[in-house]
Structure 1
Amino acid sequence: MTQSAPSSSDTRPPRRPGPPGSPWAAGGTMFAGVLLFVDGVLDVFKGIAGIASDDVYARVRNYTFKFDVTAWGWIHLALGIVLMIVGLGILRGAGWARFVGVVLAALNIVANFIWLPYQPVWAIVSIAIDTFVIWALCTSRTRPVV
């Protein structure tokens, strides 16, 4: 049994350095896709609850951004379905999904901020999720491997 040191004629390609940017963000891109999908599921549940019964959410009086709860239900249902589709697109590595994910997460932050008086806990959780999603998708510099 003999062991030999690697020769200088070793033809292995040189190691490519990792992607620039934060390693948290690089690993966070996949997690952002999962979170965007989960946030979409939460929005679908919010939408179904608002459409099914007006008694589920608190009644808010004299609120500047007051909408009918059923209208909010339809807004959250539609936004949730689109968020789920974009989340799956991010998980599959689609190039379009990163930009659309950032835009939709920002839109969802605004919608949940306006929704805050109706369900503060759900709205704050969604805002926190969307904030992480935007950070992860904007700071990751991962490129497809060719």
Structure 2
Amino acid sequence: MSTESSSRMTAGSTDRTSVARSGLILFAAAMMIVNGLWLALAGLAALFNDEVYVTTPEYIYAFDLTAWGWIHLLLGIAIAVAGFAVNTGATWARITGIGLACLSLVANFLFIPYYPIWSLTIIALGIAVIWALATAGRETA
């Protein structure tokens, strides 16, 4: 093989790798924005109408639904803003995104008694976001 053809093969594989990495970053950013909006809406629902969620009187992690509303609203806004920052490809934004996704996992695990299907869906989405942010390389397209 000539030097020219081997350099083209290396450049072609690098292009595909960077496209896949940028795709993961774009996926994570989009899912973080969607996740943040969903959490913010769940928080607003808890703040404006407590009767939307089921109350569990004997649960160990029992918080007032208004407190859950504020937690979800603030966490949702933070995740959505971090999602826009992740879209820039900055390393600090990816680290912040992973941290906020972990907080979202914990908050929604504790929220399972109030709205189980919603919480499990957000947990699955958070795991996908963490995977995408952790596996994408530093370089983006």
- Please indicate the TM-score interval, normalised by the length of the shorter structure: 0.7 to 0.9
Q: State percent identity of aligned pairs.
A: 39
Which 5+ residue runs of structure 1 have no aligned equivalent? Answer: 1-7
Write 1 or 2 for the structure with the bigger share of helix: 2
Q: d(CA) in 1 for partners of 2:15 and 2:92?
A: 20
| Structure label with greater radius of gyration | 1
Using the size of structure 1 for normalisation, the TM-score is 0.82
Q: Report the alpha carbon displacement of residue 144 of structure 1 after superposing the two structures with TM.
A: 4.5
* TM-align CA RMSD: 2.5
Q: Report the alpha carbon displacement of residue 21 of structure 1 after superposing the two structures with TM.
A: 7.4
Q: Does 1:74 pair with 2:70?
A: yes
Asked whether the 8 Å contact 2:22–2:140 carries over to 1, the reply is no
Using the size of structure 2 for normalisation, the TM-score is 0.85
Moved over 6 A (4+): 19-23
Q: What residue number does 1:85 align with?
A: 81
* 2:27 partner letter: F
Asked whether the 8 Å contact 1:25–1:137 carries over to 2, the reply is no
How many residues were matched structurally? Answer: 135
* 2:67 partner letter: A
* 1:76 partner letter: H
Q: What residue number does 2:61 align with?
A: 65
Q: Does 1:130 pair with 2:130?
A: no
Q: Mark the CA change 1:54 to 1:85 in structure 2 (over 3 Å): closer, same or farther.
A: same
